[in-house]
Chains A and B, each alone.
Chain A
């Protein structure tokens, strides 16, 4: 019969229309910004720099510029420091004098996070970054990028635990190495006079 299928189609539309009042499955939108969805576990927006303790001294970044080289759209700009400061292992390391990320260029690909050997650069989940400043507003500097490890734990608890474990393992390895080196030195110092 002509029009039968059109009536069937209308029935589907009606089922969805009235169903949207009762079924969550048929009404999937929420009223942003009053209502918000819970962010997904691995969600990513733009990079941030993680620090432990103090925002200036505890920055994990050692300005190795691997992320600057690997970044596909080249949105990272780093200037190495002239002096050195002790890192979490106590070894003197460079730190970034300037660390800028232009988030208007960044494409949130997370490659900087993957290539970083120091667990320093991680992905933030903040996305409401709109600004009326056309020139400097979306160029994030070191102080805006720096976020505490506690904040990172809040965003991605599993990943943060993993990176903490990596850092602790490295630290203990470095301490063990330093200990054996010190012992060898002491031994050498003890045996040296005897040889004389």
Chain B
């Protein structure tokens, strides 16, 4: 991040022209961006008030993809909610599965075998790699790099999706984890293939970074754009790479040490400016750390069973109680809050989606910037509407 430090820290935010009483001169133009605008990453709408090209007011409107996930979860069995969690954040089905399984394991007191814990870490970190790669692809596409970087990102993602498909049966809707373990074991051939993909990933990142990190256009479009101050990020309970880009060292893998993350040697990258460029850089650096975790996990994975023998599929009824389980999903803290009343269905089923909470801060980041920057800022938040609307 040398390029950031060399530039003087100045704000590109533009104040609207005001008369003596403090009201803007001339009329404001209201633009409804979305819900089918290509830059809104799904069906998301921004009601923007513009003074010239400067954003003076922004209201995020969502709910177009609402499909009653939480209410459905209260009316079907615990196991039947698992495939629905795939469809929350459809880029990261493995981490969604993990968060839900973790909650139910807390609720029912199931222990996860050693090998299954390693498989879960491998799957979660592969998910992080492919999510961040794709995010960067989308995000530079929002800036006008039409197609090319995104195609490279999708080419690499395809290799990881192939790994997912050969073990779980589906590329995106994996439905792989179960309460007390994982559904099927991985074989040695799969592990060897994963080692190869992970080994090559560093080279791809080098190439991707040669393409983007020092690129003048990317620097001009992202540095000091959409600055999220540290205090605001904390008080708005923003999590994930966005929070860390604002300079807060908070990663659930280090804080909670869920699963077996305490065993791995990795660092948490922290930004200093909280602008869009820092958020881009956070993702690149996190991918490099993910590769380190993957290499350690693939080296140490033990043999053994992958399911807790106490876990059962049919007639699963946890004892009455409540549990909140959370994981560090690629987008931030993903939590599930479940209350059980001893029946086959949860009494209350609540999801704490990271991209929904991260989106609440959008107006504060966009005010005073050009409308073209609002698109870039939205891209750097990393939203998936399946999770925002649920």
Docked-complex contact A72 and B80, CB < 8 angstroms: yes
Q: Which residues of A contact B314 (CB under 8 A)?
A: 66, 70, 115, 117
Q: In the complex, which residues of chain A have a beta carbon less than 8 angstroms from the beta carbon of B184?
A: 42
Q: Are B212's CB and A123's CB within 8 A?
A: no
CB–CB A109/B158 < 8 A: no
B50 at the interface (CB under 8 A from A): no
Segment at the B interface, from A1-9, A97-105, A142-150, A171-179: A1-9
Q: Is the CB of A107 within 8 A of B173?
A: yes
Chain B, interface size category, equals 20 to 34
- Residue of A whose beta carbon sits closest to that of B81: A72
A9 pairs with B212, CB closer than 8 A: yes
B169 and A44 contacting across the interface, CB-CB below 8 Å: yes
Q: How many whole Å from B75's CB to the nearest CB in chain A?
A: 10
CA A116 – CA B18 in complex, angstroms? 70
Question: Which residues on A sit within 8 Å (CB–CB) of B29?
Answer: none
CB neighbours of B76 from chain A (8 A):
72
- With beta carbons under 8 angstroms apart, the residue of A9, A66, A108 that contacts B170 is A108
Contact of A42 among B168, B173, B207 (CB under 8 A): B168
Q: Number of contact residues on A: which range applies? A: 20 to 34
Confirm or deny: A111 has a beta carbon within 8 angstroms of a beta carbon on chain B.
yes
Query: Which residues of B lie under 8 Å from residue A66 when comparing CB positions?
Result: 314
- Chain B residues, Cβ within 8 Å of A28: 155, 158
Give chain B nearest CB distance to A92 CB in angstroms. Answer: 24
One digit per residue, 1 when the CB lies within 8 angstroms of any chain A CB and 0 when it does not, for chain B 194-234 equals 00000000000001001110111100000000000000000
Q: Are B169 and A110 in contact (CB under 8 A)?
A: yes
Q: Is A183 an interface residue (CB 8 A)?
A: no
Bound together, the chains give a CA A140 to CA B217 distance in angstroms of 54
Whether the Cβ atoms of B313 and A5 lie closer than 8 Å is no
**Which chain A residue lies CB-closest to B189?**
A41
A40 to B216, CA, bound (A): 42
A41 and B170 CA atoms in complex are apart in Å by 11
Per-residue 0/1 for A64-85: is the Cβ within 8 Å of any B Cβ (1 yes, 0 no)?
Answer: 0010001110000000000000
Most buried by B among A72, A110, A123: A72
Residue ID in chain A nearest B314 by CB atoms: A115
Chain-A contact segment, one of B159-167, B240-248, B351-359:
B159-167
Q: Could you tell me the distance between the alpha carbons of A115 and B80 in the complex, rounded to whole angstroms?
A: 11
Return the chain B residue nearest A16 by Cβ. B152
Known: A5-B215, A5-B216, A6-B217. 6 other contacts (CB 8 A): A9-B210, A28-B155, A43-B166, A109-B82, A109-B83, A123-B169
